Structure 1
Amino acid sequence: MRLVYFIILFASAAVVALTASDESKATGGDPSANSKEEKKEELNEFDRQHEEAGILVLTDQNYEEVIKSYPAMLIKFYAPWCIHSREFAPEFVKAGFILKEKNSPVRLARVDASVEKKFAEKYDVKGYPTLKFFKGDLVIGYNGGKTGESVVSWIETKMKQATTAITTIKEAEEFTTADSVTLLGLFSKDNFTEMSKLLEDTAFTRLNEVPCGVTDNEELMAHYQVARDTILMFKNVDKERLSYEGPFDVDSIAAFVKANKLPLVVEFTHHSAPDIFGGDIAKHALLFVRKSQEQQFKSSFSQFRESAKSFKDRVIFIYIDVDNGDNEKILQFFGVKPSDPPSVRVIALDRNMSKFRPTFESVTTEGVTEFVQDVLDNEIDPHLASQELPDDWDKEPVKVLVRKNFDEVTMDQNKTVFVMFYAPWCDHSKELAPVWEQLAKDYAHNDTIMIAKMDSSENELPDMKVMSFPTLKLFPANSNDVIDYYGVDRKLESLKIFLDSNGKKQPGINDFKEPNEPGNNEDSDKTKDEEEKSDKTDDEGEVKSEEDTDAKQEL
């Protein structure tokens, strides 16, 4: 659930950084249609380009020895049949040539993870291509751009010292006020080597984009009134200083930063999105406001922020600038109209992503506080959007459903109803529309079958969450079952096979997989071993394609 909410908002911010998984269908990229000769030539050219760029080839047998031979190495785990691996290959080669020209000590390497499974499994590779950066005994996932130049830039950043040495009070004050959040480790001379190495490792592996300083200056320790080894967090937006009191290990320090780095009220941007969704807080309060209307913004924000003080560590308070075009889909997702702001919404990720609307019109501290507390106390029912039922909803071959008539139509025991849940802004929904129209025409004379559609961006159901667009569900006659369509394509003939079999045949899935058995996402390039595993993901390091970004944006 949380992943879907994250994708909707994060993709809306037009993120193009490679921070999450790129998964396209395992069989879709398989070049089996090529002749053997064409395939051989293609692979030979692939190998030649990588070799000329100085890109090493790793196997289960040699990877440990080869990695130890270089100060750092960026390794690409790929599969020859994966289309996204192929698309990324030229940029990886370009990065190799750039590093070669710079005489960089960092080497690039590649491993066919569909063959060298021991190596891939050791580093939890779940999709292709996945990039991992090895530096000494540390390993991190790649989260940079998808061009050769951005790969090199990311590597050069990671090769720099992750912490900054601070020697004077002036340096410390400049350092701790330069960013919204900074860490400063103050350690005794006896422990400095060990503790600064610990903070360096933590910063490199876990504290992305959080500046970290270290010092053993006793004058500085006195200035900050620190009597022993400690780490201070400076939150400049909230003008707050926190002292780390936990054990000194990477996981504990990283958890402290993760739990405390967000300001009391955070603006939603592509930069803040990972921190918003990466935590454990399941309730989010959102203020939709126009920053361009300065007086109204200051007033609403001030009231909203004052309320946030009552819910620290329980609710994340977020504001969203509705004037920012990148946030358009967020407004659609929450049903916020251009005339609504300033307005407040709450979403509960731990209650099936339930959304809540207040009854007040003006944003006040008292109103927001009462509203959020009522959500926490389960005193408010979730808000479910619904359009009005059109008078002509059943006049065309494709019948129109809204929340108000959904149960009545789909639960009709005399009809089998095949429903497309779509969003009007979704490109994949638009592509399916003419096929869906033709399907309805072909079954128009069958009184026992109805082809219908529902705009799920405007209609929400209490007991059914639509997780992607378009989603196809079959409601068979004389049954209370709901059968999801998992076929490998949405061609007219495939939909007819599914419909005529009353949902028993899923075209292309394991030679007609039984209904309701998990199938493959159309845009998934998971490892073939992962096809049978749970859909839990570890997105770090996997390279995202434009195709995958667009598909996920339409959830």
Structure 2
Amino acid sequence: MRSSLVASLFFLPLLAVGRCSDVIELSHQDSAGFKREVASLKKTVLVEFFAPWCGHCKRLAPEYESAATILKKHDPPVPLVKVDCTSDAGGKDLCNEHGVSGYPTLKIFKDGEFHQEYNGPRDSQGIVKYMANQVGDPSKLFVAFAALNDYLSKANDVVVVGVFDSESDDLAKKFLKTADRMRESVLFAHIFASTSTGDANDVAAFKDLSVSAPAVVLVRPSILKNKFEPSSVLYDTSKSIEDFINENYHGLVGHRTQNNMQDFRTPYVVSYYDVDYVKNPKGTNYWRNRILKVAKDHTDITFAVSNSQLFAGELEEYGLEPAKEGRDAPPMVVARDAKGRKYVMTEKFSVDALAQFVKDLTDEKLTPYIKSEEIPADNSGPVKVAVGKNFDELVTNSQKDVLIEFYAPWCGHCKKLAPVYEEVGEEFKNEPNVEIVKMDATANDVSPPFVVHGFPTIYWYPSDTKEPKKYEGGREKQDFINFIAKHATKELKGFSRDGKKRKEEL
């Protein structure tokens, strides 16, 4: 669809300017008009609230347009709407009414009323899949086993299939409730054996299973078929259907993407290469099958494959970058243990090398990879400089109370804080039980249990509990002094508990 659109734009540039968009513009409507228009479109509508100058909005625009074209032809159709939050004709008021504070903001409406925030992907295919799962029944009903077989044979994703005698089956009720809860991320299908033509033997995916109603089967797509695990897994009722799906969805070696990366929990081993099941399925499975040889013996570890180009930023966190050879390059392998520590396989990929790497990981024989600047040659200033290599020494294993600032060199708030933080360091440089520390969190790994999502992030790390407490106080020198004086494990030499400076004894 997108290639044909590009071709049209290339050969008909003059017409492209006036081309009718499949995204519906409602920036000119007041509140009542917007509600009326959205209600008249279809039961389920996706609305983008945007600003023309917003860079994220500009990047989303072609993806949103492409998704609108595809979803327009979906059964049932899913209209995509946009509202310009800078428009004086109505858009400004609509965005205020719906609590829009950042751009782009996407919201799902049903029957003209706000239903929920859109929390799905921002690429065309991801939007299509997410929204297609929002409409109609959460599970696709089939009335013939032959039709179900045809559907499964063409599926490119995992499908969870229910086979029941009737809708009144207890398992059918649980299945449909699960399908409704998981409809955004999982495809479901079901069939009622008592009223359908054919039988379970007509479904190739059921070939090696004893499937009879009531039953639930997780069916993996043919592109993921391998000799190390079954392509279909029968639900055994010992756990919830949702738990069954979560445990079996990705198999021994899952395809980890930007949209499902949260599914892969530590400890995990990820192999990065030219993973592409659309343009290079044969090459993708060539390496995946070799990884499977190791993964089958380590079911306590999560294994995955990821596209090295799409995850170039993540590779950088391990000191790696996508190979220049592209499609012919062997996988690069990294791991994280249960504590979140990072490891890199330094040997060139082979089944034996991977097996040894995984064994050393489980035996805790690997040295963690820490992204780090070099330790400063002179670190005697009032504010100590932490880097990845000396973080444990200065912070985690310190016998002192530590105030640690995580900053970014480009951060305006950090630059404003810098001179104040230096003054705080000067005030406490002679305190034997307090250390003032800073670290560039863009150039060095932030170790657990510290979590940094913005800059500057400041933690108080007391020597007695070793439990970090996020500093939420003021940013003036006296604010820091008052906080440290009050919370210090041992009373300070230079300040009383209320932050007042002690008089020097003569």
What's the TM-score, normalizing by structure 2? 0.58
Aligned residues of 1:185 and 1:232 also touching (Cα < 8 A): yes
**1:319 equivalenced with 2:305 (yes/no):** yes
Residue 344 of structure 1, aligned match among 288, 310, 333: 333
Aligned residues of 2:254 and 2:303 also touching (Cα < 8 A): yes
**1:276 equivalenced with 2:252 (yes/no):** no
Aligned residues of 2:309 and 2:322 also touching (Cα < 8 A): no
2:176: which partner in 1? 200
Aligned residues of 2:403 and 2:460 also touching (Cα < 8 A): yes
For residues 413-435 of structure 1, the C-alpha deviation after alignment (integer angstroms, 9 at most, x for no partner) is 999864322456xx7xx233312
Amino acid in the other structure paired with 1:87? V
Q: What RMSD, in angstroms, separates the aligned Cα atoms of the two structures? A: 5.0
1:551: which partner in 2? none
Aligned residues of 1:401 and 1:454 also touching (Cα < 8 A): yes
Amino acid in the other structure paired with 1:344? V
Residue 108 of structure 1, aligned match among 105, 108, 113: 113
Alpha-carbon distance between aligned partners in 2 of 1:354 and 1:199, rounded to the nearest angstrom = 38
2:418: which partner in 1? 437
CA drift at 1:204: 1.5
CA drift at 1:320: 2.6
Q: Which residues of 2 match residues 449-488 of structure 1 at below 5 A?
A: 452-456=437-441, 458-460=443-445, 465-469=450-454, 470-474=456-460, 484-487=469-472
2:200: which partner in 1? 221
For residues 132-189 of structure 1, the C-alpha deviation after alignment (integer angstroms, 9 at most, x for no partner) is 6xxxxxxxx975589xxx999978854412222323454222211323211232233x
> Higher relative contact order by CA 8 Å / sep ≥ 6: 1 or 2?
1
In percent, how many aligned pairs have the same letter? 20
Q: Which residues of 2 match residues 38-187 of structure 1 at below 5 A?
A: 86-87=99-100, 106=111, 108=113, 143=119, 158-177=134-153, 178-187=155-164
Aligned residues of 1:300 and 1:363 also touching (Cα < 8 A): no
Q: What secondary structure does 1:436 align onto?
A: helix
Aligned residues: 375
Going from structure 1 to structure 2, the CA distance change for 1:304 and 1:479 (only over 3 Å counts) comes to closer
**1:362 equivalenced with 2:352 (yes/no):** no
Aligned residues of 1:332 and 1:457 also touching (Cα < 8 A): no
Alpha-carbon distance between aligned partners in 2 of 1:50 and 1:260, rounded to the nearest angstrom = 46
Amino acid in the other structure paired with 2:273? V
For residues 388-413 of structure 1, the C-alpha deviation after alignment (integer angstroms, 9 at most, x for no partner) is 22335557x86532244456656999
Structure with greater Cα Rg: 2
Residue 387 of structure 1, aligned match among 373, 390, 396: 373
For residues 29-63 of structure 1, the C-alpha deviation after alignment (integer angstroms, 9 at most, x for no partner) is xxxxxxxxxxxxxxxxxxxx7677669xxxxxxxx
Going from structure 1 to structure 2, the CA distance change for 1:272 and 1:417 (only over 3 Å counts) comes to closer
Alpha-carbon distance between aligned partners in 2 of 1:302 and 1:502, rounded to the nearest angstrom = 56
Aligned residues of 2:134 and 2:183 also touching (Cα < 8 A): no
Q: Which residues of 2 match residues 184-333 of structure 1 at below 5 A?
A: 184-188=161-165, 191=166, 193-194=168-169, 196-215=172-191, 216=193, 217=196, 219-223=198-202, 224=206, 226-236=211-221, 237-239=223-225, 240-247=230-237, 252-277=240-265, 282-291=266-275, 300-312=287-299, 314-324=300-310, 327-333=311-317
Going from structure 1 to structure 2, the CA distance change for 1:205 and 1:142 (only over 3 Å counts) comes to farther
Alpha-carbon distance between aligned partners in 2 of 1:271 and 1:442, rounded to the nearest angstrom = 45
What's the TM-score, normalizing by structure 1? 0.54
1:7: which partner in 2? none
Aligned residues of 2:217 and 2:235 also touching (Cα < 8 A): no
For residues 440-484 of structure 1, the C-alpha deviation after alignment (integer angstroms, 9 at most, x for no partner) is 4545765537754223455458775445454324578x9997864
Aligned residues of 1:483 and 1:503 also touching (Cα < 8 A): no
Q: What secondary structure does 1:387 align onto?
A: coil
Going from structure 1 to structure 2, the CA distance change for 1:291 and 1:273 (only over 3 Å counts) comes to closer
Going from structure 1 to structure 2, the CA distance change for 1:452 and 1:320 (only over 3 Å counts) comes to same
1:46: which partner in 2? none
Aligned residues of 1:475 and 1:481 also touching (Cα < 8 A): yes
Going from structure 1 to structure 2, the CA distance change for 1:220 and 1:275 (only over 3 Å counts) comes to farther
Amino acid in the other structure paired with 1:181? V
Q: What secondary structure does 1:86 align onto?
A: coil
Going from structure 1 to structure 2, the CA distance change for 1:390 and 1:297 (only over 3 Å counts) comes to farther
Q: What secondary structure does 1:420 align onto?
A: strand
Structure 1 unaligned spans of 5+: 1-48, 56-70, 75-82, 100-105, 110-130, 133-140, 507-513, 516-555
For residues 260-292 of structure 1, the C-alpha deviation after alignment (integer angstroms, 9 at most, x for no partner) is 111432232233224335xxxx42111133459
